């Protein structure tokens, strides 16, 4: 968007003047617009009822680093994405606006973005793959396989750029030639952790780096928690690959639930400390158990919408009339007997048996001694 320099500088000033996200500053911007809001904070003079914006900006109002921030961003090829920009992921962030009520919640005011893709488009086709920093080799290989396969199927993969699961996810997508997004808890011009400098630079070149923190900001514990809400918001669903007893991934999962995003968790050996968090999430019904890429995609698109760009594949298109009736007579969950199917389909038992046999070969239904169910697509 072609934007006057002073307006852009006003946004950059606002993005730094309070620790983001800051609902008080956001409210002032909504009231006055960015340029007037920046002036009001600088001049310490706000409309009645907006005094909180002054409290929140007390420490930083005097130091205007907007120009330097924009320069620092430009040096690394980053841009400041604003709510009226085309690539602003407004739809995804709407859930945050609804869910976030605390002073450190809610929508970001603006986002620093680095990379060759449109943030809104990437976010609309993204699955977050997150997990323990101290991951096991099992966890890293599960994360890599999932992320590579999601990428091959047209999804982009969002994570936090950390060691362990995050790194394995980013790396696998880059290897697959796909798009991956790292949401940072530091400035867009920093690479944290340092040992991931090369990885994150590559993500910036071929995927996206995203941060709500101004350039130069260092990673800090509270910023990881705050950042996690953006990982959840900028994805259609999140998958926890490994998580210990106390885990940042569980926090991201809590955010995802709050935002109404599906949450999946991969199981692992019950003897592994890095799977405890995942098992707890599943046992407490805070996450669905997923165990391969198909189950993840089914979770993201429970209506069978399939992978991005591929559209829906209707395996049932080739079914005969009788097979269709049998298929429709099997509920989405649970097992049913041949007799129950026959009753629901209004067909004789031999016809049902014959239809089930062909459909089992076609991989549409599964049977065991206890009954029949639809096969997971």
Tokens in use for 361? 């070969």
Long-range contacts of 345-352 (CB under 8 A, 24+ apart): 347/322, 351/322, 352/326
Q: Find the part of the chain contacting a second copy (CB under 8 A) among 25-33, 160-168, 285-293, 352-360.
A: 285-293
Nearest distance, CB of residue 259 and a second copy, angstroms? 12
User: Is residue 193 close enough to count as binding a second copy by CB under 8 A?
Assistant: no
Considering the complex, state which of residue 100 and residue 108 has its C-beta at the smaller distance from a second copy. Answer: 100
* C-alpha span between 341 and 352 (Å, rounded): 7
Tokens in use for 228? 């996690």
User: Is residue 251 close enough to count as binding a second copy by CB under 8 A?
Assistant: yes
Contacts of 150 (CB under 8 A, 6+ apart): 127, 129, 157, 173, 178, 293, 296, 297
Considering the complex, state which of residue 88 and residue 255 has its C-beta at the smaller distance from a second copy. Answer: 255
142, 162, 204, 263: which one binds a second copy (CB under 8 A)? 142
User: Is residue 54 close enough to count as binding a second copy by CB under 8 A?
Assistant: no
Q: Which of 293, 248, 310 is nearest to 144 (CA)?
A: 293
162, 250, 355, 364: which one binds a second copy (CB under 8 A)? 250
Residues 60, 61, 63, 64: what is their CA dihedral angle, to the nearest 10 degrees? Answer: 120
User: Is residue 289 close enough to count as binding a second copy by CB under 8 A?
Assistant: yes
* C-alpha span between 363 and 376 (Å, rounded): 9
* φ and ψ of 214, to 5 deg: -65, 155
User: Is residue 269 close enough to count as binding a second copy by CB under 8 A?
Assistant: yes
Q: Find the part of the chain contacting a second copy (CB under 8 A) among 19-27, 121-129, 176-184, 243-251.
A: 243-251
User: Is residue 134 close enough to count as binding a second copy by CB under 8 A?
Assistant: no
Q: Find the part of the chain contacting a second copy (CB under 8 A) among 18-26, 67-75, 212-220, 264-272.
A: 264-272
Give the sign of the dihedral formed by CA 29, CA 31, CA 35, CA 39: negative
170, 190, 279, 327: which one binds a second copy (CB under 8 A)? 279
285, 303, 317, 321: which one binds a second copy (CB under 8 A)? 285
User: Is residue 255 close enough to count as binding a second copy by CB under 8 A?
Assistant: yes
Considering the complex, state which of residue 118 and residue 280 has its C-beta at the smaller distance from a second copy. Answer: 280
**Residues 312-341 as x/- pattern, contact with a second copy by CB under 8 A:** ---------------------xxx------
* C-alpha span between 265 and 285 (Å, rounded): 10
Number of residues that bind a second copy (CB under 8 A): 44
DSSP states of 291-348: -SHHHHHHHH-TTS--STTT----GGGG--HHHHHHHHHS-SSS-B-HHHHHHHHT--
* Interface residue list for a second copy (CB under 8 A): 138, 141-142, 225, 228, 246-248, 250-251, 253-255, 257-258, 266-271, 275-276, 279, 282-286, 288-292, 295, 333-335, 368-371, 373, 376
């Amino acid at each position: 968007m072609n934007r006057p320099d002073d307006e852009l500088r006003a946004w950059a000033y606002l993005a730094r003047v309070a620790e983001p996200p800051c609902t008080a500053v956001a409210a002032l911007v909504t009231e006055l617009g960015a340029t007037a809001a920046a002036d009001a904070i600088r001049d310490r003079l706000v409309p009645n009822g907006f005094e909180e914006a002054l409290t929140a900006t007390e420490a930083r109002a005097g130091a205007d680093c907007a120009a330097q921030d924009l320069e620092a961003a430009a040096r690394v090829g980053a841009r400041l994405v604003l709510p009226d920009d085309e690539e602003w992921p407004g739809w995804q962030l709407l859930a945050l606006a609804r869910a976030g009520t605390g002073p450190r919640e809610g929508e970001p005011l603006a986002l620093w973005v680095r990379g060759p893709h449109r943030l809104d488009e990437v976010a609309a086709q993204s699955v977050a793959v997150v997990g323990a920093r101290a991951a096991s080799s099992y966890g890293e290989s599960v994360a890599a396989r999932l992320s590579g396969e999601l990428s091959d199927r047209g999804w982009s993969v969002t994570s936090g750029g950390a060691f362990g699961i995050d790194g394995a996810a980013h790396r696998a997508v880059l290897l697959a030639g796909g798009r991956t997004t790292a949401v940072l808890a530091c400035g867009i011009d920093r690479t944290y952790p340092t040992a991931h400098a090369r990885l994150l630079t590559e993500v910036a070149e071929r995927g996206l780096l995203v941060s709500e923190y101004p350039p130069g900001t260092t990673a800090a514990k509270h910023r990881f928690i705050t950042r996690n809400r953006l990982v959840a918001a900028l994805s259609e669903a999140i998958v926890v690959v490994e998580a210990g007893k106390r885990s940042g991934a569980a926090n991201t999962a809590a955010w995802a639930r709050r935002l109404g995003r599906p949450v999946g968790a991969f199981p692992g050996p019950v003897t592994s400390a890095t799977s405890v968090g995942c098992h707890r999430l599943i046992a407490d019904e805070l996450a669905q158990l997923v165990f391969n890429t198909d189950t993840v995609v089914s979770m993201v698109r429970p209506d069978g919408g399939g992978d991005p760009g591929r559209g829906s594949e209707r395996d049932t298109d080739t079914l005969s009339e009788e097979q269709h009736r049998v298929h429709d007579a099997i509920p989405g969950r649970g097992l049913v007997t041949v007799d129950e199917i026959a009753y629901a389909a209004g067909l004789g038992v031999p016809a049902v048996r014959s239809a089930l046999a062909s459909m089992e070969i076609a991989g549409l239904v599964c049977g065991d001694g206890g009954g029949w169910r639809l096969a997971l697509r």
